Amino acid sequence: MTKTTNTKKASTEKAFKDARKTVEKAVKEATNNLGNVAEFSKANYEALVASGEVAAKVAQAVNVDFVETAKKAVEKNVTDAKALFAAKTPAEFFELQATMFKSRYEEFVAEATRVNEVASTKANEVVEPLKARYEEVASKYNLPLVG
């Protein structure tokens, strides 16, 4: 009976010891995972902030560009109006008007092309911090990379 009691006692102590090791291991892993989650969230937040800062700078630059373009357009319109009022004949007036319309159309197309190119470039700059973060996460967790 003593032998059986000692055997049961030893097996119980071993079971408690094993359970304690398992719990300690689980707590350690959970603590490490919480640290990883915090680090992951911090890196995501930093990428989002960096992207936001670039977007704010882009918005400011676009606003300045818009104001300058509008100012130039008003100045050209004033100059064109003066030229139209200075026309001596209806034929000269309509010839000037046609030339002005053609010129404005060409300027519009050139400006639209420039704005499109700038927008594409700036959009890539805004997205770059987020893209870099995704690529880092994708390579770490074997996710598919985009384009």
Instruction: Please write the tens of the pLDDT for every residue from 52-81.
Output: 999 999 999 989 999 999 999 999 999 999
Q: What is the radius of gyration, based on Cα positions, of the chain?
A: 35
Q: Mean pLDDT of all residues in the chain?
A: 88
Q: Does a structural domain hold residue 1?
A: no
- In sequence order, which residues have a C-beta less than 8 Å from that of residue 142 and are 6 or more positions away? none
Q: Does a structural domain hold residue 74?
A: yes
Q: Does a structural domain hold residue 26?
A: yes
Give the ranges where the chain is alpha helix by DSSP (H).
2-85, 90-141
For residue 85, the enclosing domain spans 9-141
Structural domain count of the chain: 1
Q: Does a structural domain hold residue 75?
A: yes
Q: Look up residue 26 and give its amino acid.
A: A
Which one of 27-31, 88-92, 137-141 scores highest in mean pLDDT?
88-92
C-alpha angle 111/117/121, rounded to 5°? 140
28: tokens are 């350690």
pLDDT at 107 over 80: yes
Cα dist from 21 to 13, 14, 16, 31, 96, whole Å: 12, 10, 9, 15, 92
pLDDT at 97 over 70: yes
- What pTM was computed for the model? 0.64
Q: Does a structural domain hold residue 3?
A: no
| CB 80, CB 100: distance < 8 Å | yes
Q: Look up residue 68 and give its amino acid.
A: E
Q: Look up residue 44 and give its amino acid.
A: N
How far is it, in rounded angstroms, from Cα 45 to Cα 39? 10
